[in-house]
């Protein structure tokens, strides 16, 4: 090659960003493509949805993060297809881009298990846009309830259903309950927001099923204390404008959050290699695809098993994978041997409302206030940008002492129709809020 | 009346909010109606449009501001018509609301002087939504320029036109220039953002024409130092997707901000009383409408002359008017005499980019850094909410030392069509950023 090798990275989530940073200053040209202009810190996205934080607190322009690396170009572009034989990525508009090495890090989105018609009524929470849409629905429901004369319709407006009791679902349910019981308690004259119902529906036998059983119990007790109704072993059969059907029972509601299921980014299909049942790419030990050592997949889009278990779709997995991929690309350029991936589990944690959390971290199990402090410190420390950290700390100290949520603005969609289903797959490589993101994330 | 008198306030801007606060705890029932759930601090809206602040920093839920006043009910509702003879306001949906006293404070929006087809290409800046739309257009233009191969199209993408050189236009132009020359300077690889053109088009003979001539000169010098091209005496004849026509010259551009003209809220027409030529209600000395002492108009919607001059459409005018109206309503209830309005001009100020401003305040003329410090202190002090003040200060200190703008997220409309024209009249009673808002605003 006369020119320096060209590494194309698709996706500016935890994996893609880590890869771009570590390739900065190396003897390669790097192009990072993302459909949005910002990296989203997905573990705190539920805070945007519940008005605790503003989008700018948890999302940072990708080109700002990478501006010091002069060999890295960032382009706002939507990659629709990879042409593996010809080593090119095709964009929604514009000329295809040729690569010598490709890193696909487009992540996963939620799955409606074949019921995509639910999306309109039960948005998921993977992007800033979805977070703002959910925020608007929550606070509009209270506004409409204050004006509603019909008791049945008012009760439906004051019922909030979260589907799926993984970390995102548990965090959403906890925050929804606090909004009803604390934040809004004195602000309405005709309704009593403290009577709002928050229902967490889970198909499995316990909440936070990826955690140990005693932390699930802890979380369950915290949810009860917050007044959340938890329905375990409950199958959602239908969602529409009237409400959520669980088995034969209809729960009338206007506000539903979908926090269940995983569907890999559809870009995976264009790679022409075997996928697992949710569409993830089954990668080689070196994280490249079979037969094409120049094409790597990292993060939620990769299916990689270790000791018979899938590496979880968390920030740590994406970032550790990206570091290995960078090392392997540099090895290939130098003619050295590549290494196989080893995932090191640093633990996971989830919050349940104010001042309560559960964590499994460095082999320890924590719960309650101590786990919450650990959660706050870790998440603030790993936010990108000093200013963001200061501002998020101010917001949390404020919220802690006042129960206030500073970002309760309804804007953008008030006069619009029901929002469109979130058909756009997320490009972020993280299952929400479930991960310990290491300090290296900076 | 067997029940306490019912005061209905339409609009939660500076005037409406002041009236509601001062009626809090009094022996009346108060209902405040607004189409949005938040009060917007319009003097800082240009900071949202130019990514210096987040919406939540400058906008606060109206019902939170008023929650301590138990005799005040806040409803999210769109008032479409006042039925003066029957003392009722009609809503876009739901039953009409009867009043004993009415305070109309729905403000003004920008006027396209009969060319409403310009709105699609040249949004104004009166609401949070408009601020976010303009923000998105600005930063999308740079993203598209980075990918554009055609030099003429690239130049058009890197040209920003602001129409109208009042305080809003001057502040926008200054901020646009700083974005190009400082904030984004190192972040793009294919374009040089410092070559972006910012053009301020003004029909009159000088910028900031409501200020004294020497402060206009100061502002003009500051704009030149920032690299803004100012065109005085220039008439905009056409705006479309290709650019802005000034006389016979076409300026190719994709990003236009409309900061010219005033049009009063259309609600005024339903009052059935004489309006001035931009649609403002010509009020009696007591700020009520002719023949109906129970109907008051305050803020930008009111046409009130003092010493032969119109009281300007600034926050001070709206708030002083609201205080007088509250006093007059209480006087009417008690059978006392009403008072006539006396506006006390506390001055006005405008910023021109970082660390420069002009101010006429308490009879003094200030410019440069001292005026800027006065501007910052006054605007932060009058923001509602202690937390907002802390966070905005952090953002400004950060921005001052780094030239960074923390809220450069493009979200919401990236994949949408060209945004709709802002047909909705603003309900805020303030001409942007032009006013000294007194410390009583808290």
Low-confidence ranges of chain A (pLDDT < 50): 1, 413-442
Largest distance between two CA atoms of chain A: 74
pLDDT of B2 = 54
Residue A48 lies in a domain: no
pLDDT band of residue B262 (cuts 50, 70, 90) is confident
Residue from B171, B178, B202, B360 carrying the catalytic annotation: B171
Does A87 fall in a domain? yes
Whether A283 and A408 map to the same domain: the answer is no
Which CATH number does the domain housing residue B84 bear? Answer: 3.50.50.60
- In this prediction, residue A412 carries a pLDDT of 52
Please check whether residues A20 and A90 belong to one and the same domain: yes
Residue B52 lies inside a defined structural domain of this protein: no
B424: pLDDT confidence band, cut at 50, 70 and 90?
very low
Q: Residue B29 has what pLDDT?
A: 98
pLDDT digits (tens, 9 = 90+) for B174-190: 999 999 999 998 899 99
Point out the domain boundary residue: B273, B303, B334: B334
Same domain, A224 and A364: yes
What is residue B158's DSSP assignment? T
Pair B362, B249 in one domain: yes
Summarize pLDDT for B285-314 with one digit per residue, the tens: 999 999 999 999 999 999 999 999 999 888
Q: Any catalytic annotation for residue B171?
A: yes
Mean pLDDT in residue range B24-28:
97
> Do B209 and B303 have their domain in common?
no
Q: What is the CATH number of the domain that holds B190?
A: 3.50.50.100
pLDDT score of A325: 98
A122 inside domain: yes
In a domain, B23, yes or no: yes
Output the average pLDDT for chain B.
88
What is the total count of domains within chain A? Answer: 2
| Count of Cβ atoms closer than 10 Å to residue B28 Cβ | 20
User: Domain ends where: B300, B334, B368?
Assistant: B334
Contact A37 B67 (CB under 8 A): no
For residue A411, the model assigns a pLDDT of 64
| Rounded Cα gap, residues B442 and B439, in angstroms | 6
Query: Looking at the structure, do residues A245 and A382 belong to the same domain, yes or no?
Result: yes
Region of B3 on the Ramachandran plot (φ > 0 left; ψ -120 to 50 alpha; else beta):
beta
Contacts with A46 (C-beta within 8 Å, 6 or more apart), sequence order: A125, A131, A168, A171, A172, A175, A432, A433
A174, A352 contact by CB (below 8 A): yes
- Judge contact between B23 and B412, C-beta under 8 A: no
Catalytic one of A130, A171, A202, A286? A171
CB B236 within 8 A of CB B244: yes
Residue B191 CA to residue A12 CA, distance in Å, equals 21
Whether A409 sits inside 8 A of B59 (CB atoms) is: yes
Q: Give the mean pLDDT of B252-261.
A: 95
One domain for residues A388 and A251: yes
Q: Which residue in A175, A218, A188 sits closest to A399, CA to CA?
A: A175
Judge residue A331's burial from the number of C-beta atoms within 10 Å of its C-beta, 0-12 exposed, 13-18 middle, 19 or more buried: middle
How far is A383 from B114, CA to CA, in rounded Å? 48
**Is B387 within 8 Å of A410 when comparing Cβ atoms?**
no
B326 in any annotated domain: yes
pLDDT, residue A438, reads: 28
From the CA of A205, how many Å to the nearest CA of chain B? Answer: 37
The partner residue sitting opposite A394, judged by closest CB among B129, B387, B411, is: B387
Cβ <8 Å between A54 and B57: yes
Q: Do residues B176 and B299 both lie within one domain? A: no
Residues B314 and B399 in one domain: no
Q: Within a domain: residue B231? A: yes
pLDDT tens string B30-66: 999 999 999 999 889 999 999 989 998 899 999 999 9
Shared domain for B146 and B228, answered yes or no, is yes
Q: Give mean pLDDT, residues B268-273.
A: 96
Residue from B24, B57, B387 whose CB has the most chain A CBs within 10 Å, to mutate: B387
The tens digit of pLDDT for each residue in B192-226 reads 999 999 999 999 999 999 888 988 999 999 999 99
B43, part of any domain: no
Helix or strand (DSSP H, E) at A199: strand A197-201
One domain, residues B273 and B210: no
Q: Using a pLDDT cut of 90, give the percent of chain B over it.
A: 69
Cβ of B409 and A38 within 8 Å?
yes
Q: Indicate yes or no: pTM above 0.90.
A: no
Write out the residue range of the structural domain in which residue B278 sits: 6-35+77-110+263-334
Instruction: Say if residue B106 is in the same domain as residue B120.
Output: no
């Amino acid at each position: 090659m006369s020119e320096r090798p060209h590494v194309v990275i698709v996706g500016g989530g935890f994996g893609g960003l880590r890869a771009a940073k570590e390739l900065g200053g190396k003897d390669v040209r790097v192009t990072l493509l993302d459909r949005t202009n910002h990296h989203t810190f997905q573990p705190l996205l539920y805070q945007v949805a519940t008005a605790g934080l503003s989008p700018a607190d948890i999302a940072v322009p990708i080109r700002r993060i990478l501006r010091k690396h002069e060999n890295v170009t960032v382009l706002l572009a939507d990659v629709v297809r990879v042409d593996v034989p010809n080593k090119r990525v095709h964009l929604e508009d514009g000329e295809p881009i040729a690569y010598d090495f490709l890193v696909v890090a487009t992540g996963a989105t939620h799955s409606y298990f074949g019921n995509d018609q639910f999306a309109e009524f039960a948005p998921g929470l993977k992007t800033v846009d979805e977070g703002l849409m959910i925020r608007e629905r929550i606070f509009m429901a209270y506004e409409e309830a204050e004006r509603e004369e019909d008791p049945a319709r008012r009760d439906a407006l004051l019922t909030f259903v979260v589907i799926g009791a993984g970390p995102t679902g548990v965090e959403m349910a906890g925050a929804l309950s606090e909004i009803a019981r604390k934040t809004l308690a004195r602000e309405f004259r005709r309704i009593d927001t403290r009577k709002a119902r928050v229902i967490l529906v889970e198909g499995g036998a316990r909440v936070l099923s990826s955690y140990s059983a005693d932390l699930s119990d802890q979380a369950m007790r915290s949810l009860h204390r917050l007044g959340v109704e938890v329905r375990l072993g409950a199958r959602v059969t239908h969602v529409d404008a009237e409400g959520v059907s669980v088995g034969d029972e209809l729960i009338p509601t206007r506000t539903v959050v979908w926090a269940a299921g995983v569907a890999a980014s559809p870009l995976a299909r264009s790679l022409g290699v075997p996928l697992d049942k949710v569409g993830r790419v089954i990668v080689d030990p070196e994280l490249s695809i079979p037969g094409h050592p120049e094409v790597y997949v990292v993060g939620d889009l990769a299916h990689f098993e270790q000791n018979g278990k899938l590496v979880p779709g968390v920030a740590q997995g994406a970032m550790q994978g990206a570091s290995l991929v960078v090392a392997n690309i540099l090895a290939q350029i130098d003619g050295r041997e590549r290494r196989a991936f080893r995932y090191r589990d640093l633990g996971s944690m989830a919050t349940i409302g104010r001042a309560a959390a559960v964590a499994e971290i460095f082999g320890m199990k924590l719960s309650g206030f101590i786990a919450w402090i650990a959660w706050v410190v870790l998440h603030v420390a790993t936010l990108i940008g000093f200013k963001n950290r200061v501002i998020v700390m101010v917001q949390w100290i404020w919220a802690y002492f006042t129960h206030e949520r500073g970002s309760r603005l309804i804007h953008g969609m008030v006069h619009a129709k029901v929002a469109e289903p979130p058909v756009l797959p997320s490009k972020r490589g993280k299952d929400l809020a479930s991960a310990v993101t290491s300090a290296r994330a900076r």
